[in-house]
Amino acid sequence: MRNRDLRPAAKANPTIQQAFERFQKYNRLKNLSQGSLDFYAAKGRSFFRFLGDTEQPIHTITEETVEDYIFYMKDQQLHDTTINTNLRMVRAFLYWCMEKGYLEKYPIRLVRADDPIKEPYTTDELQKLLKEPDCKTCSFAEYRNWVIVNFLLGTGCRASTLLNLQIGDLDLSAGTVFFRHMKARNQQIVPLSKALVRIMEEYLEHRSGDPTACKTVHHRSCWRGLQELAWDRGA
């Protein structure tokens, strides 16, 4: 009887696009959050724009390719922190390709970046952010931004956690909020101060929200409000 050849067959080298699709499939199997998947997709698009042709074999990406990408980003006058953010995706993707045998192994190092000192809010800025607006004369956007600042300050949650908050997650009678969407994919119940409970009760009343309904807490323009706060510290 003819003996079977049990040696593994040589792996066909996929294209860059095929390799990235397999990488994202692997990430979904790892149960990464949608935010992480979106991060890889967005940073992948930036890398692929630099490469130009994603139908070429994945093994055409060499250590020199990565170095050229760094110089390309520097020519675009990107900050070193932004360059490293893009490189983290490239490194995760290419290291996975190396583990799969698609690429020869080579190191991918981040650039040396200065760690800037974050300027804290001044007393005057904090007073502007925390001063309660007059609901009879201010716009809804101004009032909404004030509620956002108080909620972020009172709970310490991330912007993405706030944006995924449901009215049903608030238990104002018990003074707690249930965070179901967090970066580490865990869930958490956080106590609310009496002052924040009062603010949230008034906010739900002003936005015509039903506290018993399972709708989003934020107004549909809430994300724009978070961006406004990031762009204009004096708002």
111 found inside a domain: no
Alpha-carbon span 212 to 204, nearest angstrom: 11
Site of tokens 């936005």: 207
211 found inside a domain: yes
> 94 and 128: one domain?
no
135 found inside a domain: yes
Of the candidates 60, 84, 99, which is a domain's last residue?
99
Q: How confident is the model at residue 93 (pLDDT cuts 50, 70, 90)?
A: very high
4 found inside a domain: no
Note the pLDDT tens digit of each residue in 7-17: 444 456 899 99
Note the pLDDT tens digit of each residue in 115-143: 777 788 888 888 887 888 888 888 888 88
Q: Mean per-residue pLDDT for 32-52? A: 91
Predicted confidence at residue 3, as pLDDT, reads: 56
The CATH number assigned to the domain holding 139 equals: 1.10.443.10
> 132 and 209: one domain?
yes
Long-range contacts of 167-173 (CB under 8 A, 24+ apart): 167/204, 167/209, 167/210, 167/211, 167/212, 167/213, 167/214, 167/215, 167/216, 167/217, 168/212, 168/213, 168/214, 168/215, 169/217, 170/200, 170/211, 170/217, 172/197, 172/200, 172/201, 172/211
Q: Mean per-residue pLDDT for 30-54? A: 91
Of the candidates 58, 83, 99, which is a domain's last residue?
99
131 found inside a domain: yes
159 found inside a domain: yes
Residue 229 or 54, more confident? 54
11 found inside a domain: no
109 found inside a domain: no
Name the domain count of the chain.
Answer: 2
CA nearest neighbour of 229 among 132, 130, 82, 138: 130
Q: Indicate the residue type of 168.
A: G
**Percent of all residues in the chain with a pLDDT value above 90, rounded to a whole number:** 44
Domain housing 75 = 16-99
Whether the per-residue pLDDT at 228 is higher than 80: the answer is: no
* Segment holding 171, helix H or strand E: strand 170-171
> 194 and 142: one domain?
yes
Tokens of 84: 């490293």
107 burial type by CB count under 10 A (0-12 exposed, 13-18 middle, 19+ buried): exposed
Predicted confidence at residue 12, as pLDDT, reads: 66
